[in-house]
Amino acid sequence: MYKRDIERLDDDALGRIYDELRKIQLTTYQYKSDPATSPRRLGFIIDDTKTPYPINADGTSVNLYGYVSMAVAAIQTQSREIEALRAEVAQLRREHSKRRPAPAREGR
């Protein structure tokens, strides 16, 4: 195995990474060396980013594996939130349907 000190992230850690990812400000930009006619790029500015995960140890380049892993953490967190919301909606629907009065019968 090539990795050491492996620790699985619990829900709290996933939530913190999700929050960090949400705070990354996306921008469009051009490199100074790009011709003015080149298409704009989409990404973030390393100096404006507070979390270390999407930045390589050199501090000057993007760690795509770390960035994508943060996105996976966000997807996992959102999936759990969606699952909880669906369960809540289903429960509310069941409660609402129990409270509905029976339709009145005509002709009586």
Average pLDDT over residues 93-108: 79
Residue 103 has pLDDT above 80, yes or no: no
**What pLDDT score was predicted for residue 106?**
73
Element at 26 (helix H, strand E): strand 26-29
Task: Give the pTM.
Answer: 0.78
**What pLDDT score was predicted for residue 22?**
96
Question: Is there a contact between 26 and 43 (Cβ–Cβ < 8 Å)?
Answer: yes
- Domain residues of the chain, as ranges? 11-98
Percentage above 90 pLDDT, the chain: 89
Exposure string over 5-15, b if 16+ CB within 10 A, otherwise e: eeeeeeeeebb
**Dihedral of the alpha carbons of 46, 64, 25, 8, in degrees to the nearest 10:** -110
